Structure 1
């Protein structure tokens, strides 16, 4: 049967259906950390718009990101050869994998996240025919050469970042320190180096109320220890060397308040080392590693003080979440912390690798209720006014 055509409507006036822009995101690991949180938040905004989205994830990690993005309806594939550590044979195979996915999905924009995915992905795109190359955006949440690696490995990553920058159209960093470091080292993309702060919606976080969160946290302790606990100092972190959690343990050793406990929510490669440090320091009834939780931020209202003890950061989501929960924060002077916290106003900034400085600020907050309350309110206001999710997502979308 022939299709009827309305001749009264000229082709010139016929509204054209807008083609969806195709964006392929690639990240090295599926374990939920800062880079994964960024991707999830951006995808959650983009699924509402005119985009066809795909996420490709390396094989390392526990699959947390894949579960969350799949729930959003985003097509997700696993790159079996993309691994976190440098492995020459696997890396060559990973380049082939990425080229194949780009060839089948045909993205308008290739959005790379994390150092390894940034190098592998941009090289794969560079090896395509010019007419098939997508725009390449690389977002880094903290230069890997600032991690506590051996000197040779730091220098290698500086070289790799400088070389691969030529294959990227845009590089996005999330803190002023990384921005200035890129300019100093000559990490220069084809078009733009851009600073985009992380953003969060504090009213969308499904926090437990304080009493419920505290009850749930204390239920994880031995009964006798839970009954005499009056103060909880806590953190949420993957147990990686860069997180400096040994400094938090050593700060706990300086805290003479027997009613205080220190809780670490998270897991990772440093767990056994930290557990041994806790035993050796005689802190088995004071410091507790609780493991990784789904939606760990929900428990934040159960803390009295939040501590970030990192040796290296980009723009830590956990600090934004803690401030959203109206917690006083003690954080080391790394990454974006000086951009987030105004020292003594909405939190405290201390030198990295200095357990005594951490302990001093914890003690100050523990003994000054007025300061704690004032700082908590100021922290929440800073997030609302300066670090909104809407602003971050809008900046990212404008670059696609």
Structure 2
């Protein structure tokens, strides 16, 4: 009989959803996989293998004491009902609820994957202090904590004092063949020619992210304005793919900056290879980043990248070798990097080539799944299961 693994996550789109989708599809062969997540988790609706059962679980992203209390006991019932052998939690919130539920139901092994950084420097000392104390206690009941980058691992060890033997780094991985073999992108000629002079064709710069503060889209817009101020013929166009709570304020910012003819919001993009392959330059403007899956995807389709030097990004982008690094939360530095790349086609091509090779060698879904499967086997065999 197959061992049963349950993945638990909060409402997500983009990177975390793609990460869990890949694991579920690949791990489901030697194991039986279940996923507990909110019903509106769109990425998981695309699961290709129908035998993966998705269990509705209304886990909120923010702290909600009464709802969280109920969810702890509801999840413990799920663990018992489906006779789960290993619980794999994704993110801090799922980690909090899931580990409490595991202790209540029965003593099953727990794996926690952390995808992003936690802000330890709170304005109020008490919430940060409470989080640190709770996490230290729960970490003792966690068989393994996975971080998606070395920077995230080091941050976790230094801020929470968790034993190093409990923490492993497993890089995010993508479907390299799917992205590297993609040739034809969707038509963006109307975007290239839109503006003051419809006879002028220019370069297209794009970003893709959830429209939330940590993703730095505000910085990208200011940098875009700075680039346009030096672009006399207004040949450069800027695309932003993604949805999120800041969309309206970002669109208002574009209008106030007078860039509505040059900056376009595309909303949620269903076909990311198609979108990325249509760009001349990809920009990752994040202020905080564990290890960006979208950045890996852009490199895999052989796009040159400008990325902020934050979190795990330098583990992917080596400045001047696989991309161009700029300071985080610094639109002037970002604008300088964008201008340098747009003005040098040879540089764009050489960085894109080396970036694609890096992804092929180090950041494939096969490598991520292989290391995760080996971890499961080690934990389950250690318990004599």
TM-score computed with the length of structure 1 as normaliser: 0.87
* Per-residue deviation, 1:37: 1.4
* Contact 2:181–2:301 under 8 Å retained in 1: yes
* Contact 2:191–2:237 under 8 Å retained in 1: no
1:86 aligned residue: 63
* Contact 1:207–1:301 under 8 Å retained in 2: no
Write out aligned runs for 1:54-65 (5 A).
Answer: 54-58=34-38, 62-65=40-43
* Per-residue deviation, 1:209: 2.9
Mapped partners of 1:110, 1:135: distance in 2: 6
* Cα deviation 1:121-172 (Å, max 9, x = unaligned): 00111123xxx321100001013326x9755555544344323212211100
1:270 aligned residue: 246
2:33 aligned residue: 53
1:282 aligned residue: 258
Structure having the higher Rg: 1
Distance 1:50 1:375, change over 3 A: same
> Which runs of no fewer than 5 residues in structure 1 stay unpaired?
1-18
Distance 1:193 1:373, change over 3 A: same
Mapped partners of 1:32, 1:360: distance in 2: 31
Write out aligned runs for 1:117-136 (5 A).
Answer: 117-128=94-105, 132-136=106-110
* Per-residue deviation, 1:299: 1.3
Residue 112 of structure 1 pairs with residue 96 of structure 2: no
1:39 aligned residue: 20
User: Which has the larger displacement, 223-232 or 113-122?
Assistant: 223-232
Residue 178 of structure 1 pairs with residue 152 of structure 2: yes
* Contact 1:303–1:327 under 8 Å retained in 2: yes
Q: Which residue among 91, 113, 116 is the counterpart of 1:142?
A: 116
Residue 306 of structure 1 pairs with residue 298 of structure 2: no
* Per-residue deviation, 1:63: 2.9
Mapped partners of 1:121, 1:287: distance in 2: 42
TM-score computed with the length of structure 2 as normaliser: 0.90
Mapped partners of 1:112, 1:227: distance in 2: 53
2:382 aligned residue: none
Mapped partners of 1:365, 1:301: distance in 2: 17
RMSD value, Cα: 2.2
* Cα deviation 1:225-282 (Å, max 9, x = unaligned): 7763411000111111110110000000111220101100001001111111111111
> Which runs of no fewer than 5 residues in structure 2 stay unpaired?
377-385
Tell me how many residue pairs correspond in the alignment.
370
